[in-house]
Amino acid sequence: MKLLTPIIRIVDDDKTVSDSLSFFLNLAGLQTRSFSSAEDFLRSDDPERLGCLILDVRMEGMTGIELQAELKRVGSDLPIIFLSAHGDIEMAVSCVENGAFNFLVKPPDPDKLLDWVSKAVAKNKQVRREKAYAESLREQFETLTAAEKKVSYQIAKGLPNSRIAEILEISERTVQSHRANIFAKLDLENPVELNEFLREMQNS
C-alpha cells in the first residue's frame, strides 16, 4: 500500500463541475485529480494510490456506470461516489447494488459531499490495511514446505496427530515434526490460532 496522501479522483466531462468540486475539496485540505472522461481515467490513474472516485453517471463515450463495471471487473477497491443531475431512485439503487459507496444528486450539498468523501477514503484505507495484512500472512505461509501446508490444514481442523497421519498416509512422527515446524515458522501456539491464521489469510 502506498503510504501517500489520498487522492480524490473526479471523473466528469463537464469542466465547470470538475473545477468546482476540486476547488471545494482542495479548500478542505484534500488532494484531487480531475479526468475529463472514463477513458482518460483508465489511461492515467494510479490505482495503487489510496482515495476514492467521484464519478458522473452520464458522460460522452464510456458512461460512469460502464466505468464502474470495468473497475469491478479488474478488482478495483476504490469506493465510488456517483454524481448525477439526471439520477433517479432506480438508478441510484442499481449503482449501490453494484458496489457504489453512495449516489448524490448534482449539485451535491458541500457538507454532505465532504462527509461521504471522508467516509469513502477511510473505507479505502481500511480495505488496503486488511489486504496488506492478508498478504503478509500469505508470505509467511509460503515459508512452509508443501508437506507442511497439507498438515497445517488438518491441524487447523483440530485433528489429532494419529488421524492426520492416517488421512495423509504418513507416519505420526512425521506429523509431529511438521506440526512443530508449522507452529515455529508461523509463530503460533495452537490449532485455534492456526485456524484463525488461515481464515484471515484466505479472506482477502
162-178 per-residue burial string, b: 16 or more CB within 10 A, e: under 16: eebbeebebeeeebeeb
Q: Please name which of 193, 192, 123 lies closest in space to residue 158, comparing C-alpha atoms.
A: 192
CA distances from 171 to 97, 179, 181 (A): 52, 12, 16
163: left (phi > 0), else alpha (psi -120 to 50), else beta? alpha
Q: All 3 cell numbers of residue 47?
A: 490505482
Of the candidates 53, 75, 56, 204, the residue with the CA atom closest to the CA atom of residue 139 = 204
Rg of the chain on CA atoms, in Å: 24
pLDDT for 84 equals 83
Give 91-138 pLDDT, tens digit per residue. 777 778 888 899 888 888 999 999 999 999 999 999 999 888 888 999
SS3 letters across 107-145: CCCHHHHHHHHHHHHHHHHHHHHHHHHHHHHHHHHCCCC
What is the structure's pLDDT at 204? 58
At how many degrees (to 10) do helices 64-73 and 89-97 cross? 10
Measured CA to CA in angstroms, residue 108 lies from 47, 65, 144 at distances of: 25, 19, 52
Residue 88 has pLDDT above 70, yes or no: no
Q: Contact, 35 vs 10, CB < 8 A?
A: yes
Report the predicted TM-score, pTM, of the whole model to 2 decimal places: 0.77
pLDDT band of residue 1 (cuts 50, 70, 90) is: very low
Provide the percentage of residues in the chain whose pLDDT is more than 70: 96
- In angstroms, the CA 157 to CA 166 distance is 15
